[in-house]
Structure 1
Amino acid sequence: MKKNSKNTGVIYDLTPFTLLDFPDKTACILWFAGCNMRCGYCYNPLIVEGKGKITFDDVLHFLEKRKNLLDGVVFSGGECTLHEGSIWLAKTIKDLGISVKIDTNGSRPLTLKKFIDQDLVDYLALDFKSMPKNFSTITRSHLFHLFEESLDLLINSDIPFEVRTTLHSELISEDELEEMVRFLISKGFTGNYFLQHFIDETPTLELLPKSTKRKYSKEYSSAGLTVIWRN
């Protein structure tokens, strides 16, 4: 067995079953440890700051027992593309006849290109944190240009994907949301843009001001781009 199959320190946890996270598929979720962003509203602080406890062998053993029950595997986190072994794992999962979805912040376009070029991803969810002026404040990083590269890569690929944004009322204004929609349209993005209000009741990376579930005054959908509220 290849050494990557025993990779430790990578997967923090495994959710055995979900009907919500991979469109039209029964799936499990692999929660990859670590992230190169530190979004204050992150719902997964233990995963972002923690270490992996589950080996690739553990994952493959789980899937071998359930491959007739699961259609897909979601690579989430944290940020799954930080781990080069994730490419090997995706190939092995695809060889089992199981589809792969990637949840990503878009900060590793070269790694995403490897997934795409090797036909290792069937669906992708790309997190759009904010426009450049607020990006470093929200993510504690300077990686917007890499997110933009990933967006361009996906727009020019055949991979079905969605874009999604978490809205904290004290971090993203209605004007900025409108700017984000215009940015996606200017890039030529067509598809679903999912918006979700930040929910205060969940432990997060930072203690943030209370977020108001604001009612937005405009209809942001346009020809080719559909805005969908998840809560």
Structure 2
Amino acid sequence: MKTSRGYHCSIAKPFEMWAKLPVTSLTPFTFQDFPEHTACILWFAGCNMACAYCHNPDLVTGAFKRLPSDSIERFLTSRQGLLEGVVLSGGECTLSSALPWLCRKLKAKGFKVKIDTNGSRPERLEELLNEGLVDFIALDFKAPPSKYMPITGLKNWALFERSLRMVVKAGIGREIRTTVHTDLLDEGDINEMTSLLEELSYRGNFVVQGFVHGPTLGNLPPQGRNFNKALLIERPFPFVFRNMAKQ
């Protein structure tokens, strides 16, 4: 089916497609997660990373039950013309082969689409970008190359770097963000990461998210020290700090 907006949305086997989408819960309204847009959030279970500071261990392990597809469909239909966008978060939404199908469906309903991703599936990002199926990408830059595997549990830095380069060049809204627990990442690591972003001519926000103590995938203790923002090297793009202790 081709809509007036030009997006193709196959409806031949919707139940099979929904079965490939491990959506486990829904946040009906947010004005903080999709910059400048009202939105809802679909939360995906499952992740291919094992970051110790992750505050969503149940999402990572897929412990939650899936939300019935008919309830998601009803909700989205009821919000057409009321909400501007849908955020696909998790977990890691790009692990699902049906993600492009879902994005086409959302676009056909008139929603803007934002995805939160760890960048481990560049081929899926490329498909979404090439088809114009995503309007905003929030990319988690977990660590510099030397610490990428110890922090994420994944060895293939090259896949993330491909995603990073793709997002930097994308002509859509984007932000790159890093979560800092000072026992894992220090100011020198952040300077190394932002140096790479500068080399790639990145000009969006670089978000530094401070670790908030609580239950995590790796049961991390509180940070041994505060992060010192004064040690960061100035770059030609803005730093945005969230949940950071005052220095």
Place the TM-score, normalised by the shorter chain, in its bin.
over 0.9
**Residue 158 of structure 1: CA displacement?**
1.1
TM-score with structure 2 setting the length: 0.88
TM-score with structure 1 setting the length: 0.94
Q: Deviations over 1:29-56 (max 9, x none)?
A: 1111101101011111111101551244
Larger mean CA deviation between 68-77 and 206-215 belongs to: 206-215
Aligned to 1:42, what secondary structure does the other structure show? Answer: coil
Distance 1:187 1:114 in 2: 21
The letter of the residue matching 2:54 is C
Count of residues in correspondence between the two structures: 229
**Residue 60 of structure 1: CA displacement?**
2.0
Partner residue of 1:35 out of 27, 43, 47: 47
- Does the Cα contact within 8 Å between 1:155 and 1:189 map onto a contact in 2? yes
Larger mean CA deviation between 146-155 and 53-62 belongs to: 53-62
Equivalent residue, structure 1, for 2:107: 94
Gaps of 5+ in 2: 1-10
Q: Deviations over 1:171-209 (max 9, x none)?
A: 001111111111111122111000111001x21101123
Q: Deviations over 1:102-161 (max 9, x none)?
A: 100000010001111111000010000001111111111113211110111122221221
Partner residue of 1:54 out of 49, 67, 79: 67
The letter of the residue matching 1:217 is A
Partner residue of 1:126 out of 133, 139, 147: 139
- Does the Cα contact within 8 Å between 2:186 and 2:227 map onto a contact in 1? no
4+ residue runs of structure 1 moved beyond 6 angstroms?
none
Percent identity of equivalent pairs: 42
**Residue 219 of structure 1: CA displacement?**
4.7
**Residue 58 of structure 1: CA displacement?**
2.7
**Residue 214 of structure 1: CA displacement?**
2.2
Structural mapping, 1:1-231, within 5 Å: 1-5=11-15, 7-8=18-19, 10-50=22-62, 52-200=65-213, 202-211=214-223, 212-223=225-236, 225-231=237-243
Aligned to 2:139, what secondary structure does the other structure show? Answer: strand
Distance 1:2 1:58 in 2: 19
